[in-house]
Copies of this chain bind each other. A is one copy, B any other.
Amino acid sequence: MKILITGIAGFAARHFLDYLNVIEPGSEVAGIYHETLPEFDVKKLGNLTITFYQLSLLEKDKFAAVLQECKPAFILHLAGKSSVANSWKDPSGSITDNTNFFLNIVESVRVLNWPCRILSVGSTEEYGNANAGLPLKETDCPEPASPYGVARVLQQKLVAIYANSYKLDIVHTRSFNHIGPNQKPEYVIASFAKQVVQQDMEGKKEIILKTGDVNVVRDFSDVRDVVKAYYQLLYKGRKGQTYNVCSGNGYVLKDIIQLLAKKIGKPVHDSIDEEKFRPAENKTILGSFEKINKETGWKPEISIEKSIEDIIEYWRGILSDIAKKQ
């Protein structure tokens, strides 16, 4: 496939490329990044031709130029300011930047009249306090509980408008929490795993974990499953439609902590870090993947145990490398 990916330096993009390298060798990828590009293992992605472009998605003209140069059949829009915590600190930045990233893409496609399929990646945060019951379904009315959630609701509404009014071939996901190797430790499971592995390597007999509220329930998917869902939706999603990408399983954070303890073979105790508390947080998030399953056949395949194992292994590698350099 000939695909343009925004946010190429990010967590999901890295795993999408791994998958594309296997599932569709010979694919041509135009990757847009903004700040720094992590080192890609070029050997591992040997079946792909990747061209990188450095620009901010706020620079509409530059984006339009890349679009005209690359002529992609697909756009996978992964870039975004996706931190809920930061959206409380800077609601305007979260909302206007995420909106303008998205609008600059769809407006460029519209104005240039470029025929391509766009996948807009949204978030479980769109649901917020939606009160139609669990599991959350695409037809539930979103009641976002954070500025970031509002930004993604906005994007989902714009997807519907651009598909209906301008006939753009665009599909939206509501992606629930995803985890896996290479995720930054700003995210909860990566943060837990890093702390656990670090203290284990320091020889601690008992591990003390700094956490937020560990009684919340979250629907975690492995990122390697999530990118397969994106691949399916790029080909099979219906124009203007929104799809949950989730596991359908609710995990209490404290159970995940016990899973980490089991894998590492040491007791892990949690200790509340007030800074990790947010002004509003949903107790339980749990989605239904019935729609995407019916329409594309996708379903999650990687168990939470396997995810946690691989995440621990990833952090062992990272922290060993750092230790060696010191």
Chain A: residues with CB nearer than 8 A to chain B?
91-92, 95-96, 99-100, 103-104, 107, 129, 141-147, 149-150, 153-154, 157-158, 160-161, 164-166, 279-280
Q: Output the nearest chain B residue to A100 by Cβ-Cβ distance.
A: B92
Question: When chains A and B are docked, how far (Å) is the Cα of A165 from the Cα of B147?
Answer: 11
- Most B CB contacts (10 A, CB to CB) among A92, A103, A161, A164 go to A161
Question: When chains A and B are docked, how far (Å) is the Cα of A240 from the Cα of B154?
Answer: 19
Given contacts A150-B158, A157-B150, contact A279 B166 (CB under 8 A): yes
Q: Which residues of B contact A279 (CB under 8 A)?
A: 165-166
Tell me which of B96, B153, B166 contacts A157 (CB under 8 A).
B153
Question: When chains A and B are docked, how far (Å) is the Cα of A144 from the Cα of B156?
Answer: 11
Q: Which residues of B contact A157 (CB under 8 A)?
A: 142-144, 149-150, 153
Decide: B147 and A164 in contact? CB cutoff 8 A: no
Tell me which of B145, B160, B161, B164 contacts A161 (CB under 8 A).
B145
Question: When chains A and B are docked, how far (Å) is the Cα of A66 from the Cα of B104?
Answer: 35
Q: Which residues of B contact A92 (CB under 8 A)?
A: 99-100, 103-104, 107
Question: When chains A and B are docked, how far (Å) is the Cα of A153 from the Cα of B95?
Answer: 13
Tell me which of B96, B142, B145 contacts A96 (CB under 8 A).
B96
- Most B CB contacts (10 A, CB to CB) among A142, A146, A153, A154 go to A154
Q: Output the nearest chain B residue to A132 by Cβ-Cβ distance.
A: B141
Question: When chains A and B are docked, how far (Å) is the Cα of A99 from the Cα of B91?
Answer: 10
Q: Output the nearest chain B residue to A141 by Cβ-Cβ distance.
A: B141
A239 to B: closest C-beta gap in Å: 15
Decide: B95 and A99 in contact? CB cutoff 8 A: yes
Given contact pairs A92-B99, A165-B280, enumerate 4 new A-B contacts (beta carbons under 8 Å).
Answer: A91-B107, A95-B154, A153-B153, A166-B279
Given contacts A91-B107, A103-B91, A107-B91, contact A150 B161 (CB under 8 A): yes
A70 to B: closest C-beta gap in Å: 23
Decide: B158 and A145 in contact? CB cutoff 8 A: no
Question: When chains A and B are docked, how far (Å) is the Cα of A150 from the Cα of B96?
Answer: 13
Question: When chains A and B are docked, how far (Å) is the Cα of A167 from the Cα of B141?
Answer: 23
17 A-B pairs (CB sep. < 8 Å):
A92-B100, A95-B96, A95-B154, A96-B96, A96-B100, A99-B99, A141-B141, A142-B157, A144-B157, A150-B157, A150-B158, A150-B161, A153-B153, A153-B154, A161-B280, A164-B280, A166-B279
